[in-house]
A and B are shown apart, each in its own frame.
Chain A
Amino acid sequence: MTGFGDAFAAAFGLIARMDADLVEIVGLSLRVTLSATLCACLLGFPLGAILAVGRFPGRGVLTVLVNALMGLPPVVVGLVVYLMLSRAGPFGALGLLYTPTAMIVAQTILVTPIIAALARQTVADLDAEYHETLRSMGAGAGARMRTLLWDGRFALMTAALAGMGRALAEVGAVMIVGGNIDHVTRVMTTAIALETSRGELTLALGLGIVLMVLSLALNALVMGARLSGARMSHA
């Protein structure tokens, strides 16, 4: 039991003195996940809005597809992106495999369906309420979509945070396309997996604590977004 307690103490020590390795790994994690979440929002919000208010053939199929992709296993995404980026793959010439960029691509693919599906639901619910009002004002399709996205901003923020939480906690995809290379592609989850398997509990625990705190912070932000949303929605 002392071993466990010592490991915890050492882990807090790492955090307290901002250990260089720990900071580097946390920094890369955040960089990859924030970039992927941003890309996923830029793709997912408009996609969700188009699925919600657009009238075009194939819309139903696309909606089902996006919803199905929400549950994509990270390792499968990793595998597919690996095949795309590997030397023999269609994008092999770009030389992206085992770079942070590859990890951002994989997490973007993982998170976009989540954000798009939640955005579609948000925008569709709002459209049911706003449709006649916006049409009576003479708003075109573009203006309508922008209005709905903005008025759904708190729910969309929740969607983005949910997507970010998934990306931050995910191991499979970043492991496969990043390769967990020290100082290059090592992020929190892959480092924890590796250090634990090597019996190096100090760094693993330190990173685990940081990851937990970040997850809690994300959840607190979700709550904040909900409350602000409720204040604006009223009745």
Chain B
Amino acid sequence: MLRLVASNPSPGAVIRLEGVRLRRGGRDVLDGLDLAIPQQGITAIMGPNGAGKSLSLRVMAGLVRPDDGGVFHGLTDPQDIALVFQKPVLLRRTVRANLRHALAIYGVPRRERRKRLGELLDFGRLAAMADSPARALSGGEQQRVAMVRALAARPRLLLLDEPTASLDPQATDAIESLILDAAAFGTTVVLVTHDRGQATRLADHIRFLHKGTLTEAASADQFLLAPKSPEAQAYFAGKLLL
């Protein structure tokens, strides 16, 4: 039975997946996934390559309909949920025009766009490259543009898919402070990461996925000190459980 319900997900959670099943290439890549994201704080989703982390973000964002199971949340406005992809796609325009386009899509009134645009460029520290073609920027700068573009929606739930993979320490720092700022403004952040240090620095909660199911849900303090599930223990020991 497939249920896609806009309703209160359950106390304390902003969104909840229940028994979500997704078939791809003849197998269940999400295999009865139960996943609740707490309203408060930053949740890191961890797990080995192919565990279904990116797909679960797509399901939360409503981009992919599960073959079975339910998605529960009370986020009725399309702009309540924003997603920054593992490989962000920027438009073939300048940085400024990318952000202006996003503000137009998000329905920001024309007379306000100028002011908001200035704020966004400052917030992402993008003012110096505002008039460069967005796709000519470095990987880290492009990630920052994608992040600011997502935040321009003023989402209540921000989904980030490995936002600092392949970035140098300084660019990682810049992205991480954007994430902390967004969380401080009250946005619920879900962050997919392979980086234990990053999870330590940012996350309040951890959800560990393995082969399309949730094997552990814990507070970051507890999980990062001593994961309980054998899958997570093997992952951190560098062993792949297949």
Chain B, range 39-61, C-beta contacts under 8 Å to A: 58, 61
Pair B93/A232 contact, Cβ less than 8 Å: yes
B147, chain A: closest CB distance, angstroms: 13
Is there a chain A Cβ closer than 8 Å to B78's Cβ?
Answer: yes
Residue with the greatest number of chain B CB neighbours at <10 A, chosen from A130, A138, A147, A150: A138
Contact B85 A133 (CB under 8 A): yes
Q: Are A232 and B79 interface neighbours, CB within 8 A?
A: no
Question: What residues of A have a CB within 8 angstroms of the CB of B101 in the complex?
Answer: 147
A137-B106 in contact (CB<8A): yes
A231 contacts partner chain B, Cβ-Cβ < 8 Å: yes
Q: Are B105 and A139 in contact (CB under 8 A)?
A: yes
| Alpha-carbon separation in the docked complex, A138 to B135 (Å) | 22
Q: Are B79 and A136 in contact (CB under 8 A)?
A: no
**A132 and B63 contact, Cβ closer than 8 Å, known pairs A138-B78, A232-B135:** yes
Among the listed A136, A147, A233, A234, which residue makes an inter-chain contact with B82, where contact means beta carbons less than 8 Å apart?
Answer: A136
Min CB gap A225→B, angstroms: 13
Interface: B32 (CB within 8 A):
no
The answer to whether the Cβ of A129 comes within 8 Å of any Cβ in the partner chain is yes
Residues of B near A235 (CB, < 8 A) are 135
With contacts A232-B93, A234-B133 taken as known, whether A143 is within 8 angstroms of B83 at the C-beta atoms is no
B89 cross-chain contacts in A, Cβ below 8 A: 129-130, 132-133
Asked if B153 CB lies within 8 Å of chain A CBs, one says yes
Q: Among the listed B85, B102, B133, which residue makes an inter-chain contact with A232, where contact means beta carbons less than 8 Å apart?
A: B133
For the complex, is A24 an interface residue (Cβ under 8 Å from B)?
Answer: no
**Neighbour of A136 across the interface among B61, B93, B104, B133, CB < 8 A:** B61
B91 CB-CB contact with A under 8 Å: yes
CA distance A232 to B134 in the complex (A): 8
CA distance A129 to B91 in the complex (A): 10
**B222 to nearest A CB, angstroms?**
32
B5 contacts the other chain (CB 8 A): no
**Closest CB-CB distance, B187 to chain A, in whole Å?**
16
Whether, in the assembled complex, A135 has its beta carbon less than 8 Å from a beta carbon of chain B, the answer is yes
Query: How many angstroms from the CA of A130 to the CA of B153 in the assembled complex?
Result: 18
Report if B239 contacts A (CB, 8 A).
no
Chain A interface helix/strand/loop/mixed: helix
Chain A 217-235 interface 0/1 with B at a Cβ cutoff of 8 Å (1 = within): 0000000000001011111
- Which one of A130, A135, A137, A233 contacts B102 once the chains associate, using CB atoms below 8 Å? A137
How many chain B residues touch A (CB < 8 A): the figure is 23
Scan B63-104; emit 1 where CB is below 8 A from any A CB, else 0: 100000000000000110011010011011100000001101
Are A135's CB and B63's CB within 8 A? yes
B129 within 8 A of A: no
List the A side residues contacting B135 at CB < 8 Å: 232-235
Please give me the residue from chain B that is nearest to A153 by CB atom.
B92
Complex contacts, A229 vs chain B, CB 8 Å: 92
Closest to A136 in B: B83
User: What is the minimal beta-carbon distance from B143 to any residue of chain A, in angstroms?
Assistant: 14
Whether A151 contacts B105 by the Cβ 8 Å rule is no
Q: Is the pair B91, A151 in contact by a Cβ cutoff of 8 Å? A: yes
Of chain B, the residue at the smallest CB distance from A129 is B89
Is B63 touching A130 in the complex (CB atoms < 8 A)? Answer: no
Kindly identify, within residues 141 to 160 of chain A, every residue whose CB is under 8 Å from any CB belonging to chain B.
Answer: 143, 147, 150-151
| A152: nearest chain-B partner, CB-CB | B92
Within 8 Å by CB of A130, from B61, B83, B91, B149, lies B91
Q: Which one of A133, A135, A232 contacts B92 once the chains associate, using CB atoms below 8 Å? A: A232
**B binding-site residues for A, Cβ under 8 Å:** 58, 61, 63, 78-79, 82-83, 85, 88-89, 91-93, 101-102, 104-106, 133, 135-136, 149, 153
Contacts A136-B83, A137-B105, A229-B92 aside, 10 further interface pairs with beta carbons under 8 A come to A132-B85, A133-B89, A136-B61, A137-B79, A138-B105, A138-B106, A138-B153, A151-B93, A232-B92, A232-B135
10 tightest Cβ-Cβ pairs between the two chains A and B: A138-B78, A234-B135, A232-B92, A151-B92, A133-B89, A136-B83, A234-B136, A139-B105, A232-B133, A137-B105
Of the A-B pairs whose beta carbons lie under 8 Å apart in the complex, a sample of 25, sorted by A's number, is A130-B91, A132-B58, A132-B85, A132-B89, A133-B89, A135-B63, A136-B61, A136-B63, A137-B79, A137-B82, A137-B105, A137-B149, A137-B153, A138-B78, A138-B79, A138-B153, A147-B91, A147-B101, A151-B92, A151-B93, A232-B133, A233-B92, A233-B135, A234-B133, A234-B136
